[in-house]
């Protein structure tokens, strides 16, 4: 501007050439109003004047105005030069005005400038930016003398149209044609390698940069950092970044975004500090990446500071940043702040709605998630697979069957019925809503099956207690050529745990080892749980020892395993070791500790843990802890203490608490307390048959057969059906199911023959059937026969005839093992010299050498 003043003082302003230079200068310095003033003051405009002003419009982003100026120039008959043509073609590119661009192309041909490389290159770019990539390539092929700028124009066109693989191939053509790439060529191709995810070619381009001496070029260096970061080689990205003498905002943004995408969130925050220390001010792009790091690390204070910085930069920032803020606040458990940001958006788009819905879902506010979805649907921004998957997750947690079907209908109508995310979410939702048939139908109707949909269906079967159906999917999965991942392995292992399928569990363990998942926490925890539930606490302990980084789930699984098997001291020892290792217990761990004390009859220890859990570990006792403690006191005969604890509870007793009291009343023949507990359970769980059975057994224990009859009559009038006793035993990778009096098995005759064969040695050993435990109104001899036909006895008899001598027999039962069966197995295990392991609804019983691991305390 000082020079401009000198031009005026010296009287040279009328010099057209100087005026044109000033117009160009002001246009490039983003001071376009000065350029326009000078242009309007020229009395005789030449082609250079027009070229300068059109170029000024273009460089300031005024594409439409640039086109209009060219039209006026053409109307006035001023002859165009190559600079005017290039500028107006750039203007057409800005506004994507293909129609005018084609017309100007015609004028270029008529004017004879079609052979000018400068104009030709601009035409290549114009067609590409207007979406006509074929015309762009066709015109490029017609250029006789292509230079490096021509190739750069074509590369840029392909990259902008997301044809990155083709751009990489074109680079090879250029090199073979003998054209030497410059720094712009190499920067464009690096961007193409990033888009095409071609790491190998990216490294070769890096070598070109070094060989040609462009590796210090800031554009190339930034492109290299971005390429390495996005293609998974963060180490190389950092190496390139550290060699940049003076990193600019683009450099810092690329490396910070790379760290965030690879979940090096702490490093991203350190780099932000370094960036500020270098004197550069983070921009919107920098802070957007840092918001993701804050969300991942749940650093809410820094997140608020970033929000404040963004507001200072621009009071109205774009939707992308708003969504980042919503996500950050939601993940930092500041959902109200997320809502404030969401409400500040004038017209939230689909991504903003999804961020808010996901925020509520992550917080566990499933009702609000569903409510917000219906509000979104009403507002009309539409929805996508992310929306549907998130809402289905909340519906699964709420177990709202009808709403799940409504979302299913919406997904069909909107064309998302076969989207992998939606399919898997539907299978999960139907499974958790106990609609496993619907889950199966979706799985079968889906035209493709992947490992996630397979895992979802296996999980659905397991959640519905159909572990045997889940395991039937395993051969189908292998025959489809799908590769197991750690989540699929974990689900299959859980299916084995569900039905105590020990042998099949071992086979899946082999797959876990082959695939290298043994040190995966999910698979390791599932194996610990499976072996514990299949009756092999030794195998569970071995699997536990192989987990490299034991979290609270690992410790809780092993402590719970020891508890279920009645190894109370081992469970408490492991709990002490966990605390010593610095892993704080959660409420589930303490439930397992109390259960361990319960199964081992350690009342004093249980009281100490229960009374100190809030003081030592900051965990207030829940209903589960109270139920465990009341059960412990009740089983040990301290019924008055149990009732006192119930009355002192800070919340209303649930079914688990009253169930514990009813069970204790039956053991200690306290009819009055048993009746009180049963009356409460009739209100809380009217459909459960177990209450009626336990109350009837309580009456039977004291000989009140009239009351037994009344209970049975009440069951009939209430239409409550007694849950049938079922037992499972695994033989040669197949799980065999038995019910009381079962005669449907293919080897029924052999099973009953084995029971008859055992009768004589049992009599000699001193076994006497406990007919008083059978409540059927029949003769004593028939009661004895009914006792012999209990499902667990049939399962053990089948195990004796179907498994090799000396091997353990593992049986699972869906109810508590009865006293007669418990006594029966103590005699049988000694007679046949076999270990019999029975898992009932409460715990494991290991029968060896005429004794049970529970010490008859269960």
Q: Mean pLDDT lowest for which of 177-191, 394-408, 561-575?
A: 177-191
What is d(CA 135, CA 132) in angstroms, rounded to the nearest whole number? 5
Confidence at residue 60, expressed as pLDDT on a 0 to 100 scale:
78
Give pLDDT, residue 129: 82
Report the DSSP pairing between strands 844-848 and 836-839: antiparallel
**Alpha carbons 568 and 449: distance in angstroms, whole number:** 45
Distance (Å, whole) CA 288 – CA 295 = 11
Mean pLDDT of 570-574: 95
Alpha-carbon span 60 to 69, nearest angstrom: 14
650-661 as b/e: b if 16+ CB within 10 A: eeebbbebbbbb
pLDDT > 90: percent of the chain: 45
Q: Band of the pLDDT at 783, cuts 50, 70, 90? A: low
Q: pLDDT above 70 covers what percent of the chain?
A: 98
**C-beta of residue 812 within 8 angstroms of C-beta of residue 839:** yes
Identify the band that residue 544 occupies on the pLDDT scale cut at 50, 70 and 90: very high
Q: Are 391 and 354 in contact (CB under 8 A)?
A: no
* pLDDT at 315 exceeding the cut of 70: no
- 717-723-724 Cα angle (round to 5): 120
Q: Which has the higher per-residue pLDDT, 556 or 120?
A: 556
pLDDT in tens, 596-632: 999 888 999 999 999 999 999 999 999 999 999 999 9
pLDDT exceeds cutoff 60 at 278: yes
Out of 47-56, 59-68, 506-515, 571-580, give the one with best mean pLDDT: 571-580
Mean pLDDT for the stretch of residues 375-400: 90
Token pair 């095409």 is found at 196
What pLDDT is stored for residue 779 in this prediction? Answer: 62
The predicted pLDDT at position 187 comes to 85
pLDDT digits (tens, 9 = 90+) for 641-655: 999 999 999 989 999
Would you state the pLDDT for residue 846? 93
Q: Is the pLDDT of residue 777 over 70?
A: no
Q: What angle (nearest 5°) sits at the alpha carbon of residue 771, between those of residues 766 and 773?
A: 115
User: CA–CA separation, 680 vs 683, rounded Å?
Assistant: 5
Q: How far apart are the first and last CA of the chain?
A: 96
DSSP class per residue in 523-577 = HHHHHHHHHHHTT-HHHHHHHHHH-SS--HHHHHHHHHHHHHTT-HHHHHHHHHH
pLDDT value at 178 more than 60: yes
What's the confidence (pLDDT) of residue 185? Answer: 83
The confidence score (pLDDT) of residue 773 equals 59
Q: Is 850 left (phi over 0), alpha (psi -120 to 50) or beta?
A: left
**In the block, which residue shows the tokens 């109270």?**
626
Residue 10 has pLDDT above 70, yes or no: yes
pLDDT band at 591 (very low <50, low <70, confident <90, very high): very high
pTM exceeds 0.85? no
Place of tokens 């070029």: 217
Mean pLDDT within 826-835: 95
SS3 category, 791:
helix
Alpha helix segments (H runs only) across 566-685 = 568-580, 587-600, 603-617, 623-635, 639-648, 655-667, 671-684
CA-closest candidate to residue 187, choices 150, 145, 161, 226: 226
- Does pLDDT of 580 surpass 90? yes
User: Across all residues in the chain, what is the average pLDDT?
Assistant: 88
Mean pLDDT across 141-165: 82
Average pLDDT, integer, range 301-317: 82
Q: What is the pLDDT of residue 317?
A: 64
Which of 345, 356, 348 shows the shortest CA–CA distance to 380? Answer: 348
At 780, the pLDDT band (50, 70, 90 cuts) reads low
Nearest to 394 by CA among 382, 383, 407: 407
Neighbour tally for 604: CB within 10 Å: 7
If one compares 37 and 756, the residue with the highest pLDDT of the two is 756
- Matching residue, tokens 């930092």: 332
Question: What value does the mean pLDDT take over residues 520-544?
Answer: 92
What pLDDT is attached to residue 11? Answer: 82
Name the band, by pLDDT with cuts 50, 70 and 90, for residue 687. Answer: confident
Cβ-proximal residues to 576 (8 Å cutoff; 6+ apart), any chain = none
Segments in 314-434 forming alpha helices (H): 319-331, 335-344, 350-363, 366-379, 385-398, 401-413, 420-432
């Amino acid at each position: 501007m000082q020079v401009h003043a000198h031009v005026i003082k010296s009287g040279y302003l009328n010099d057209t050439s100087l005026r044109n230079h000033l117009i160009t200068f002001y246009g490039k310095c983003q001071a376009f109003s000065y350029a326009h003033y000078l242009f309007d003051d020229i009395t005789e405009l030449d082609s250079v004047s027009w070229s300068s002003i059109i170029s000024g419009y273009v460089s300031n982003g005024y594409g439409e105005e640039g086109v209009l100026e060219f039209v006026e120039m053409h109307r006035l008959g001023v002859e165009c030069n190559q600079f005017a043509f290039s500028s107006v073609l750039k203007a057409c590119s800005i506004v994507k005005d293909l129609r005018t661009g084609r017309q100007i192309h015609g004028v270029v041909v008529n004017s004879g400038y079609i052979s000018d490389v400068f104009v030709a290159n601009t035409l290549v770019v114009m067609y590409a930016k207007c979406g006509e990539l074929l015309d762009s390539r066709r015109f490029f092929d017609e250029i006789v003398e292509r230079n490096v700028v021509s190739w750069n124009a074509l590369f840029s066109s392909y990259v902008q149209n997301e044809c990155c693989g083709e751009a990489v191939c074109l680079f090879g053509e250029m090199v073979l044609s003998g054209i030497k790439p410059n720094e712009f060529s190499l920067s464009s191709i690096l961007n193409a390698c990033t888009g095409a995810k071609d790491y190998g070619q990216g490294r070769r381009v890096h070598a070109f940069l070094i060989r040609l001496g462009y590796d210090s070029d800031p554009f190339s260096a930034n492109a290299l950092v971005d390429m390495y970061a996005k293609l998974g080689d963060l180490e190389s990205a950092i190496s390139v970044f550290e060699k940049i003498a003076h990193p600019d905002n683009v450099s810092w943004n690329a490396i910070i975004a790379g760290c965030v995408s690879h979940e090096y969130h702490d490093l991203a925050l350190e780099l932000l500090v370094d960036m500020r220390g270098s004197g550069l001010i983070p921009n919107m792009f920098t802070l957007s990446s840092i918001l993701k790091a804050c969300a991942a690390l749940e650093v809410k204070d820094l997140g608020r500071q970033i929000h404040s910085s963004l507001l200072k930069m621009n009071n109205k920032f774009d939707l992308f940043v708003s969504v980042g803020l919503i996500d950050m606040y939601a993940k930092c458990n500041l959902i109200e702040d997320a809502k404030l940001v969401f409400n500040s958006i004038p017209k939230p788009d689909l991504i903003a709605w999804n961020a808010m819905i996901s925020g509520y879902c992550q917080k566990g506010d499933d009702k609000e998630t569903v409510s917000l979805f219906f509000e979104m649907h009403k507002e009309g921004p539409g929805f996508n697979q992310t929306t549907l998957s998130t809402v289905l997750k909340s519906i699964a947690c709420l177990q709202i069957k009808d709403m799940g079907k409504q979302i299913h209908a919406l997904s069909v109508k909107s064309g998302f019925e076969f989207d992998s995310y939606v399919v898997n979410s539907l299978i999960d939702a139907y499974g958790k809503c106990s609609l496993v048939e619907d889950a199966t139908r979706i799985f079968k109707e889906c035209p493709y099956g992947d490992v996630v949909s397979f895992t979802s269906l296996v999980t659905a079967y397991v959640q519905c207690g159909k572990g045997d159906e889940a395991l039937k999917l395993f051969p189908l999965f292998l025959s489809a050529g799908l590769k197991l991942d750690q989540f699929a392995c974990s689900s299959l292992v859980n299916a084995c745990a569900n039905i105590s399928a020990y042998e099949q569990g071992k086979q899946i363990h082999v797959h876990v080892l082959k695939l290298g998942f043994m040190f995966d926490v999910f698979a390791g925890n599932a194996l610990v749980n499976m072996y514990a539930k299949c009756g092999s606490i030794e195998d569970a302990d071995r699997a536990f020892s192989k987990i490299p980084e034991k979290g609270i789930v690992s410790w809780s699984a092993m402590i719970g395993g020891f508890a279920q098997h009645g190894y109370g001291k081992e469970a408490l020892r492991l709990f002490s070791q966990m605390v010593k290792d610095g892993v704080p217990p959660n409420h589930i761990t303490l439930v397992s500790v109390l259960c361990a004390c319960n199964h081992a009859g350690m009342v004093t220890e249980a009281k100490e843990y229960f009374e100190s859990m809030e003081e030592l570990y900051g965990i207030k006792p829940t209903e589960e802890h109270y139920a465990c403690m009341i059960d412990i006191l009740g089983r040990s005969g301290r019924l008055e203490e149990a009732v006192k604890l119930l009355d002192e509870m800070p919340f209303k007793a649930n079914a688990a608490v009253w169930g514990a009291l009813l069970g204790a009343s039956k053991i200690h023949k306290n009819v009055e307390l048993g009746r009180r507990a049963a009356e409460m359970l009739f209100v809380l769980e009217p459909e459960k048959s177990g209450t009626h059975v336990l109350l009837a057994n309580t009456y039977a224990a004291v000989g009140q057969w009239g009351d037994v009859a009344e209970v049975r009559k009440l069951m009939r009038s209430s239409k409550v059906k007694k849950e049938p006793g079922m037992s499972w035993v695994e033989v040669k990778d197949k799980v065999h199911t038995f019910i009381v009096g079962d005669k449907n098995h293919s080897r029924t005759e052999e099973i009953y023959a084995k029971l008859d064969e055992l009768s004589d040695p049992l009599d000699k050993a001193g076994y006497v059937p406990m007919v008083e435990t059978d409540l059927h109104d029949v003769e004593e001899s028939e009661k004895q026969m009914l006792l012999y036909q209990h499902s667990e006895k049939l399962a053990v008899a089948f195990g004796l005839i179907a498994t090799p001598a000396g091997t353990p027999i593992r049986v699972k039962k869906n109810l508590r093992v009865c006293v007669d069966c418990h006594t029966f197995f103590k005699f049988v295990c000694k007679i046949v010299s076999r270990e019999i392991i029975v898992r009932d609804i409460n715990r494991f019983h290991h029968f060896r050498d005429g004794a049970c691991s529970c010490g008859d305390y269960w």
